[in-house]
Amino acid sequence: MAVYVALFVLIAGGAGVLTATADSPEIGFENPDFEVSEGDPIEVDGEEYVVAGVEGDDGAESSAVATIERNVTAEQSETWANESTVEVGDREWRVMITGEDPNEFTLVEELDRQAILEDDSQADNETVERDDGEYVVVTEDGESTLVPVEEYFPTPEERSYAEDDAFEYGDNTATVDNVTADQAVLVWEATETESIEIEGEAIVTIGETEFVANFPDASTVQLSSDIEGYEAQVAQIEQFQQYNSGLTRVLVLAFLSSLLLLGAAFIPSRY
């Protein structure tokens, strides 16, 4: 009985030592395509990216993330329907298109009549309707006068644009691409920021190339196009975990077997 107990203890001790001293393999790239930190440039397939941020998590590879960005110039367009209201240069305008086969449109300024009235201390804040039209009540020296709205309000500004004409629209220079009886189409080129998020130990496509990411520390990301090498490391880690799990089960079983044998040895005989 003592020999068997010693044998199981020896097995348990060996399994415990192997489990405690074995070093788990980790993902690592000896020669990554890129090893960069925040602010570093990356050129892939002729396109240049910049590392906008790296958020490693000190060993928690699954929660680590990096972001790379690049500026892309793309054509944008906008359609203005006839008689719609648009905002250009911090003012509102009405789009006016006339004719059956037009090649231009006119922007007619939309006056803020209410603001003009409120800014005039001598005028009532509302217009009045009479049988012969609309008026503004203006009071001067205690005497009120009805002024036709056509005379009181300034003449709205008008701006006409033909096809291929360009003008400032927001932060861009827009070109009149096409005008029909129903609408006008504007086009312009704008720079947009394209972002790609890279997660730890995940395969990401940048341009036309696939990379796998690794975070050796909290501020650095490695990118490697050696996908096969990465998959081989993953397989090695899985194999190690299987072996380690098996040794743990051997340790537990050997220990329980020793206790069972010791318990059986002290059971009193019935004879």
- Whole-prediction pTM: 0.55
Rounded Cα–Cα distance for residues 134 and 151 (Å): 11
94-132 core/surface letters (b: 16 or more CB in 10 A; e: else) = bbebeeeebeebbbbbebeeeeebeeeeebeeebeeeee
- pLDDT tier, 263 (very low <50, low <70, confident <90, very high otherwise): low
Question: What is the C-alpha separation between 103 and 86, in angstroms, rounded?
Answer: 19
Residues 32/162, Cβ–Cβ less than 8 Å: no
For residue range 168-209, what is the model confidence (pLDDT) as tens digits?
A: 998 899 999 999 999 999 999 988 889 999 988 788 899 889
Q: How far apart are CA 158 and CA 213, in angstroms?
A: 57
199 membership: H or E segment, kind and range: strand 183-199
CA neighbours within 13 Å on the CB side: how many for 118?
4
Pick from 63, 64, 71, 66: nearest CA to 51: 66
The two tokens of residue 102 are 């037009």
Q: In the predicted model, is pLDDT for residue 107 greater than 90?
A: yes
What is the rounded CA–CA span in Å between residue 90 and residue 60?
A: 50
Residue 91 identity (one-letter amino acid): R
Q: What is the pLDDT of residues 249-260, one digit of tens each?
A: 655 655 555 556
| pLDDT tens digits, 35-55 | 999 999 999 988 899 999 998
**Whole-number Å distance between alpha carbons of 80 and 86:** 8
Per residue in 57-102, pLDDT tens?
654 455 789 999 999 888 999 999 999 999 998 899 999 999 889 9
Amino acid code (one letter) for 98: T
Task: Look at 23 and 194; give whichever has higher pLDDT.
Answer: 194
Tokens of 92: 């509102």
- 212 in Cβ contact with 200 (< 8 Å): no
Given a cut of 60, is residue 19 above it in pLDDT? no
Question: What distance in Å separates the CA atoms of residue 114 and residue 126, rounded to the nearest whole number?
Answer: 7
Lowest mean pLDDT among 102-116, 204-218, 224-238: 224-238
Task: Report which of 9, 2, 5, 18 is spatially closest to residue 247, judged by C-alpha positions.
Answer: 18
